[in-house]
Amino acid sequence: MADPRTRTYSGEGGGPSRLTSRLARWRVPLGYVLAVIVFWLADPTARSLAIGGALAAAGEALRVWAAGHLEKGREVTTSGPYAFTRHPLYAGSSLMGAGFAVASNSLVVAIIVTAYLVTTITAAVRSEEAHLTDKFGPQNPEYRDGVATTQPRRFSFARALRNREYRAFAGLVAAFAVLAAKLYF
């Protein structure tokens, strides 16, 4: 029997399905389409904006911390938040989504956001796990299984910028600006 830590995922034997791969690839454009719907359905209050904004800001802070440790495409990163969770960028995105749902003050929006995050992040994680295992061999399964050695690295704001984390920040600011505009105008 083959060692499961060294098997490849391209093709058969545990890789993401075609639907999963498509969903992972289309999660951002799908998010823009759903954003139009949820902005229309949102009914923010000053209180929901404040609470949701704090939650979303915590999510963005987690994403910045992760992006400041990540060397995308070069290694399986194990420093910073990656020492605690395999997917801190997705965890941060989930917190941002939860913050947006709270800020929107709408149960329908919360359901849409939750369904979007659960389906697209699950698909992205599956696709990413397969890709990382294909690219880095046993390093990713060792990390996934908690047996990899943590490599210390200092946070770098320049690295976070190189990883284009400013785009998530800009999206967060724009989303809350639209919700605030909907409240006050």
Give SS3 for 10: coil
Per-residue pLDDT of the chain (185 residues; tens, 9 = 90+): 444 444 443 433 457 888 888 998 899 999 999 999 999 999 999 999 999 999 999 999 999 999 999 999 899 999 999 999 999 999 999 999 999 999 999 999 999 999 999 999 999 999 999 889 999 988 888 898 888 888 889 999 999 999 999 999 999 999 999 999 999 99
Query: How is domain 18-184 classified at the CATH fold level?
Result: Four Helix Bundle (Hemerythrin (Met), subunit A) (1.20.120)
Which residue reads 């029997």 in tokens? 1
Q: How many angstroms separate the CA atoms of 93 and 23, rounded? A: 16
Q: Report domain extents, the chain.
A: 18-184
